[in-house]
Every structure is written in C-alpha cells, then in structure tokens.
Amino acid sequence: MTSYPVKVSNIASTTTDEQLNDFFAIKKIEREKDSSTATIRFEKLSAARTALMLNDGNLDNASLSVTSDVVKEDDHLQQATTSEETGGDHIDQADKPRAAIAAEYLAKGYSLSDRILQRAIDIDQKQGISKSCLTYFNGLNSRLGERAFGAEQTVTGTVQAKVEEQIKQAKAIDEQKGISKTAHDYYEKAIASPLGQRVMAFYTESTKQVHDIHEEARRMAQEEKRKASTSEESAPASTAPEKPEKSPVA
C-alpha cells in the first residue's frame, strides 16, 4: 500500500505518543530513538499535505518542524472522494478547506500562529473548495431550508432576502420545531442558526481572513462546551453513598 511519509522533529521530551497521535489525527507514529524526531506515514496524500501545513505548530511548548521529501504542501490533486460517493450526506476530513481544519485545531486548544492560518487560506485560494465539500453544504442548506421555511427554500437564501425579519422568523421556527435541538452535528446546528450565512461562506468560499478562522474556532469551541454541559445535565446522579470525612490526624 502506498504511503506518504512526513518527518516531524523538535518534539519536546515531555510529549507523549498519545499527544502526537491526537495532534496529527493518526494512530501509527514511528518515534525515533532520540524521541525528538518521528516519522508519520499517511495513507492519503491530502492528509500528508495537511500535516505539512502544521509546520511550526506548537505542541507541548515546542515548535514542531514538519517536512517531507516526497510530499509538497501546495501540490494540487483532486480528492479521491467524490460527491457521488458521499451522497452529499457526509464530509470527509480530507475534503474540508484547510482553513476549516486550522479552525478545528484552534478549537481544540492547540496553538497555531497567524502565519500558519494565512498559509491555510493561501492554499484554499490556490486549490479552491472540493466538490464534496460544496455538495455537502449546499445539500445541508437546502434540507434545513425546506424544514424551516418550506419547499425549495434554503437557509442562507431566505435570510439574505430580509435579514432582520428572517432572523426573527428563523428563531421562532427553531423554537417551534426544535431544528437546532434535533440537528445531528455541528454543521447542522451552525447553519440552522442566524449565523448560518457566515458559516456557509466559511466552508464554501475561498475568500477568508485570519480573523474568520479564529471566529469559526470560537463557534466550534462553544458548541463543544454546550455539548459537554448538556451531557453533564443529562447524566444520572450518582447513587453511591457519600464517604464519611476523615478526622484530621493529630
């Protein structure tokens, strides 16, 4: 099986394999003897190019060097996943704009410099948005629009017509039908909100600024906090008896 190797160096001595796995979103990492260097072999070229985008990213207070003798970060290659294969109901990580992937890293708490964010934007502008990503979000826009506003309506199109009036209508319909509550993932919830127009633009247009990535990262982080809060509220209370407090030792 073809693989695309990427070399990572300047790894902090305190960084664990688990941290590297999470940072690069891959399970198999070949850590070298000095532990400050590792080789990662990606099955998809697009995943390897994303890893190269993270060059100079900060992990465990160390600025990582991410390079490859085989893969070039700005290589243009059509994604293997097509909109026909996904059916428009799923968006693969490899099909997302680089700016969106960068936002996900920021939302998780990783530190990426504005130079890296600008690099992601430049790649998106050069390569454009994948057909799979466009198909997914356009389909989502139509499905949610029909549920909220009726046949042949889209969320972003309806909000564009009369912004303030339609935002109030969107909120009222959401309260009535509970669209955001029944939405299955972040993208549905985001697009179903009055901010849907900006979310759609972020994922389907290549014109972005560093500020837009930070803004999307904040939305993602807020959604994760909301999910965590909801999970805690719905978790059953512990029925275990409370342990008696220990008396202080004289």
* pLDDT tens readout for residues 95-154: 899 999 999 999 999 999 999 999 999 999 998 998 989 999 888 888 877 776 677 777
3-class DSSP string for 137-167: HHHHHHHHHHHHHCCCCCHHHHHHHCHHHHH
Asked if residue 101 lies in contact with residue 217, where contact means CB atoms within 8 angstroms, the answer is: no
**High-pLDDT (> 70) share of the chain, %:** 71
Q: What is the pLDDT of residues 23-37, one digit of tens each?
A: 998 878 888 877 899
At 151-174, the pLDDT tens digits run 777 766 665 555 556 556 666 666
Q: Comparing 211 with 74, which gets the higher pLDDT?
A: 211
- The pLDDT of 3-18, averaged and rounded, is 91
**Whole-angstrom distance, CA of residue 20 vs CA of residue 11:** 9
Model pLDDT, residue 32: 83
Q: What pLDDT score was predicted for residue 55?
A: 92
pLDDT of 7 > 90? The answer is yes
Residue where the block lists tokens 């130079």: 115
Q: What average pLDDT does the segment 237-248 reach?
A: 44
- Alpha carbon 118 to its chain's center: 16
- Which residues in the chain belong to E strands, given as ranges? 4-9, 29-31, 37-42, 58-59, 62-63, 65-67
Q: In this structure, what are the phi and psi dihedrals at residue 246, rounded to the nearest 5 degrees?
A: -80, 140
Give the tens place of pLDDT for each residue, 52-88. 999 999 999 999 999 998 887 655 544 443 333 444 5
Q: Which of 1-15, 108-122, 167-181, 217-231 has the lowest mean pLDDT?
A: 167-181
User: Is the pLDDT at 12 greater than 90, yes or no?
Assistant: yes
Q: Which residue has the higher pLDDT, 87 or 3?
A: 3
Task: Quote the pLDDT of residue 122.
Answer: 93
Global confidence as pTM: 0.75
Q: At residue 247, does pLDDT exceed 50?
A: no
* From the candidate CATH numbers 3.40.50.620, 3.40.1160.10, 3.30.70.330, 1.20.1050.10, the one assigned to the domain spanning 1-71: 3.30.70.330
Q: What residue spans define the domains of the chain?
A: 1-71, 83-230
Q: Is 207 helix (H, G, I), strand (E, B) or coil?
A: coil
